[in-house]
Amino acid sequence: MAINPFTQFVFDLFIFSAIMITAYTCNFYYLAYLSRKRKDVSSTTDWGTPSVTVQLPIYNEKYVAKRLVDAVCNLDYPKEKMRIMVLDDSDDDTVELLANTVDDYKKQGFQIEHVRRGTRNGYKAGALKHAMQTTDTELVAIFDADFIPPTWFLKRAIPHFSTSNIGLVQCRWGHVNENYSAITQAQALSLDFHFLIEQKAKSNSHLFMNFNGTAGIWKRDCIEDAGGWHTATLVEDLDLSYRAQMKGWKCVFLPNIVVDAELPVQMNAAKRQQFRWAKGSIQCAIKLLSDITLKRKVSIEAKIQAFIQLTRHIVYPLMLIQFLALPILLAGQVNLYVVSILPAITIATYLAMGPGAYIMIIQTMYHKSWKSKVKILPALLVYNAGMSVNNTVAVFDAVFGKKNEFLRTPKYGIITKDDDWRDKAYNLPFTQTTLLEIFFGVYGIMGIFISIFSNNPIFVPIIGLQVVGFFYIAYMSLSHTRFKRNKSSNNRVRTEKEKMANVVYKLSMISIVAIIVFGGFMAITGYDNKIYPLDRIRGHLDGIVGSSDPVSLRAHLLAIQTDLEIVMDGMRETTDANGELVAKNPVWIFSTESTNFLRIQSDVETMLASVEKVSTVPKDSSAYHTGMLDINDRASSLRTNIMDATPYAYASVENILFSTIWIAAIIGIFSALKRKKEHLKEADEIGV
């Protein structure tokens, strides 16, 4: 069956995306194989107690900053060998809190200092770079504000600098609040995949692994030899670790040394973290890949793996391309089954490549506790699917060189399920990305109906998983939004403004839900009135091509006439010089005769007349066979015409106008919320 040029282009994009996604997925399975094949690094040497500087980069973390400093000062390590640098770039209550905490520990004999550089230039990387100017110890340990290092951390980790070329030991992240919610459970499982599969596979080998920004120890010589901390990307940790390995240093991952940390509990915070990681990775790819490619001492496999790791976030835009293309291809009756005669093989292939393989990996990661982790897998699949919009925006930001502020991921000191973050400072509002997530969710609902009405229900769960993900992420982004100011204040006027903002927010959420429901209803109604009749017409034309019974042919043609009357209602009309109607066409610009429904209607009437004629002659006569061939040829031609017209039925003037109004309404609500947020910010600045 011939495919029109537009559908062919979409099909090519779909196949290209599928191939690329499959390649990245298979590479993860390859790393899973390597992680089982290569034993954990266990070689150690007695280093004694080398001098260590513990650097703690902090910005506005009043709920967890003291907890971190307390944990570091509680490390079982000689005070005279351990220097603690609290790198505080904060501009809120955190400054006073840390100043008091540092003073208390100084009185107890700790070598601890409260570093205030007076600027946020370079953000975290800038703070670490500034600290290195006065760091003269052999080792440098780094912890982010939300981490809680155990007392034995330094004594157990330092001996793993067993050879002179090891420049970094990276420890595994634990999750102090893993069971707080479905969001934290999904994040914990995702991070475990990274550490126990990717990091473990690359550690102590010729493959490059990355520093995760915290819970690691560097040799100071390694940092300096690699060129120090750079501020050009949002992931200074990945950047430095790759430059160090290109210099010949080795990085080692220690899976058995676990440092607990707090996972983001607010959806908007989790999205911010994912955005930073995705954008930063692409920035590093742009910055480093050419050097890695030209480096002779780096093996081919290491170069390939470096390329895959640095570019792996392009999977997210590829996922969206597939998601957008699938309904178009199904509407165009393009066969997408893995095995054309066995549609069920398609869903089985998806399950085998995705959840099935992940279940096997989880078994090897968690051993006896694997069943409890498998229960989290559906939440992770939904979470990753929904995050594809957020991370796609990050990828394009990096590719087009858009500059972004380093936005930290706020933490609230959440450990148990009884802890609450909603009334605390640092709460993040939803962003414009939420609007895109809503759009993709609504588009996916239309895709589900297209799958059903085009007799391809096997694709419903594939589309449905992503639809659930988009709506879940959007819903959580909206429901987790709080208009809570970052700076402490008991000002009554500001409190009243916050209350009013929350009222506006709730009303806006109700309006958005109402608009989405109304839009979904209109989309379903429009599909039923304009698109589904075209699908039925194609089905009847298929029936005509496959039949030689005049009675059956007549029934198909009469049904086609009924559906043509439905779809032609409201279609663009063209008249000649005498005012006579000569065309009805869904193509409202650059229309052609092939999609003229008056001509199609005339052809159907001609076919009905032919059926009446052939029904009067013997079935074994040449006239009967000639008539049937003519009817079949006309049916095949009309089917192509209907397929050409179908995409334009989606893009009718009415649909474009309604979609514009629908999107404008949602944007208007978002703009009102943004203005309210700006008013609150102004109130903060003037102290009202």
Check 88, 146, 192, 237 and give the catalytic one: 237
For 411, phi and psi rounded to 5 degrees? -125, 155
Check 89, 146, 397, 563 and give the catalytic one: 89
- Tell me the two tokens of residue 243: 């430059």
CA-CA distances (angstroms) from residue 215 to 168, 260, 309, 627?
Answer: 11, 9, 21, 80
Q: CB-based burial of residue 295 (10 Å sphere; 0-12 exposed, 13-18 middle, 19+ buried)? A: middle
Q: CB-based burial of residue 282 (10 Å sphere; 0-12 exposed, 13-18 middle, 19+ buried)? A: buried
- Closest-CA residue to 66 (of 30, 33, 104, 39): 104
> 192 has which bridge partners?
none
* 89 among known catalytic residues: yes
How many residues make up the chain in this entry? 688
What does the H/E/C string look like for 364-409? HHHHHHHHHHHCCHHHHHHHHHHHHHHHHHHHHHHHCCCCCCCCCC
Evaluate whether 255 touches 416 at the Cβ level (below 8 Å).
Answer: no
DSSP secondary structure code for residue 262 in this structure: P
Residue 638 neighbours by CB under 8 Å, 6+ apart: 541, 600, 603, 604
CA atoms 340, 342, 344, 349: torsion sign: negative
Neighbours of 64 (CB within 10 A): 22
Distance CA(539)–CA(520), nearest Å, equals 26
* 237 among known catalytic residues: yes
Evaluate whether 247 touches 363 at the Cβ level (below 8 Å).
Answer: no
The catalytic residues are 89, 237
